[in-house]
Amino acid sequence: MTVTIKEVTTAKQGKIFVRFANKMYKDCKYYTPCLEMDDFNTFSYKNNPALEHSEFARFLAYNENGDVVGRICGIINRIANEKWGRKTCRFGWFDFVDDFTVSEALMNKVAEWGKSKGMEYLNGPVGFTDFDHEGLLLEGYEYVAPMASLYNFSYYVQHYEHLGFTKEADWIELQVFIPKQIPERFVKLSRLIMEKYHLRIDKVRSAKELQRKYGMTYFDVLDSAYQKLYNFQPLTQRQKDYYSRMYFPLLNFDFVCIIVNENDEIVGVGLGMPDISKELKEENGKMFPFGWLKYYRAMKSKHIDVFNLLLIGVREDYQDKGVNALFFYDLIPYFIKYGVKYAETTSMLETNFKVVKSFQSNFECKQHKRRRAFIREI
């Protein structure tokens, strides 16, 4: 195949870039479209605060007939590079037809761009921050991808190997099956932990109440909890404002767990949302004209089959104290009330043994997915 690479420089090309994956995966029943508005906002200097300390370049691959056959985004996150002491050009939104000429041409273009900026490594697939999609799917192609996860065809792996990439980090994902009633040991253990460490669960009921009582200190907890994890970068104040404004008002606060100490400081945060992959498929990720209403109804539904566990974070000085049990103590009754059959975790580093073990030792679980971040020198 003859391939021509063009940089995305116009709004029209930007739409083609964002919508390419939906077109390529249109016949794949396991692929879930991203929320299109999120992708457009991600590449908007006006809307995405991560671009205050990052730069990016997007490229499209065209065949000899003028058809788009691939895409890629190169990213330089200056805060992350400074934290980890490495000159890394990240890449994401890397999708392509099964032709080595296409994937190689796209990656060579990003490598050329990154090298021109003084970068020494290529790393991906990752995004601007940990809140973007990351990790190439290696296992679990036969499972539907939830909103918070990447999906890719199995042939991608051979392309990464052909391009000379090696493993840098692996994540796993679990299906966690909900018990019919909260185990008594959870009740006893949770009460013991709360008494011993003077903790309580504050069941806030809205984004406004959360803001009024705690400001945005829950993000400080997440920074503390995740600071040692792979590719972590602390969030700026504008990023905290952005995520708080965009996502928290949409949540069902039955599924938001805030753990505080005797000083009314947040020491743990857990939250999730109903799986809305069905609605995203029906609307192809679009918000309008009716997508927003379907998504809202799904988020606020009183009956939920599948639940997406988005994050659990415990402040560093409260880790290894069994605080994770409090999240399950709080959330299991709501899972039962809403009829949740199972919850899907987001990606957990395979080396994060304590978190993985907390699920596997307390619930009936199935590890059903594995994904990987790759690296190579430019």
Q: How much is the average pLDDT of 145-155?
A: 91
What pLDDT is recorded for position 141? 98
Q: How much is the average pLDDT of 276-298?
A: 93
* pLDDT tens sequence across 207-253: 999 999 999 999 999 999 998 888 888 888 999 898 888 888 889 99
Spatial distance between the Cα atoms of 345 and 272, rounded to a whole number of angstroms:
9
CB hemisphere CA count around 187 (13 angstroms): 5
What secondary structure letter does DSSP report for 253? G
| Better-predicted residue by pLDDT, 228 or 278 | 278
What pLDDT is recorded for position 65? 96
The percentage of the chain sitting over the pLDDT mark of 90, rounded to a whole number, equals: 85
Interior CA angle at 29 toward 26 and 34, to 5°?
60
* pLDDT tens sequence across 335-345: 999 999 999 99
CB hemisphere CA count around 287 (13 angstroms): 7
Q: How confident is the model at residue 290 (pLDDT cuts 50, 70, 90)?
A: confident
Q: How much is the average pLDDT of 50-55?
A: 95
What pLDDT is recorded for position 249? 86
Q: Is the CB of residue 268 less than 8 Å from the CB of residue 326?
A: yes
Q: Which long-range contacts (CB under 8 A, 24 or more apart) does 335-338 make?
A: 335/178, 335/307, 336/178, 336/179, 336/180, 336/181, 336/182, 337/254, 338/254, 338/301, 338/302, 338/303, 338/304, 338/307
Spatial distance between the Cα atoms of 20 and 315, rounded to a whole number of angstroms:
39
Per-residue pLDDT for 147 more than 90? no
* Residue 212 neighbours by CB distance under 10 Å: 10
Per-residue pLDDT for 143 more than 80? yes
| Better-predicted residue by pLDDT, 362 or 108 | 108
The two three-digit tokens of residue 213, written as one number? 């009582």
Spatial distance between the Cα atoms of 364 and 356, rounded to a whole number of angstroms:
12
The two three-digit tokens of residue 145, written as one number? 């991808």
Spatial distance between the Cα atoms of 98 and 104, rounded to a whole number of angstroms:
11
What pLDDT is recorded for position 358? 85
Per-residue pLDDT for 18 more than 90? yes
Coil, strand or helix at 158: helix
Q: Report the predicted TM-score, pTM, of the whole model to 2 decimal places.
A: 0.94
Q: Is the CB of residue 287 less than 8 Å from the CB of residue 277?
A: no
Spatial distance between the Cα atoms of 341 and 352, rounded to a whole number of angstroms:
25
The percentage of the chain sitting over the pLDDT mark of 70, rounded to a whole number, equals: 100
Query: DSSP labels for 29-86?
Result: TT-----HHHHHHHT-TTT-GGGGSEEEEEEEEE-TTS-EEEEEEEEEEHHHHHHHT-
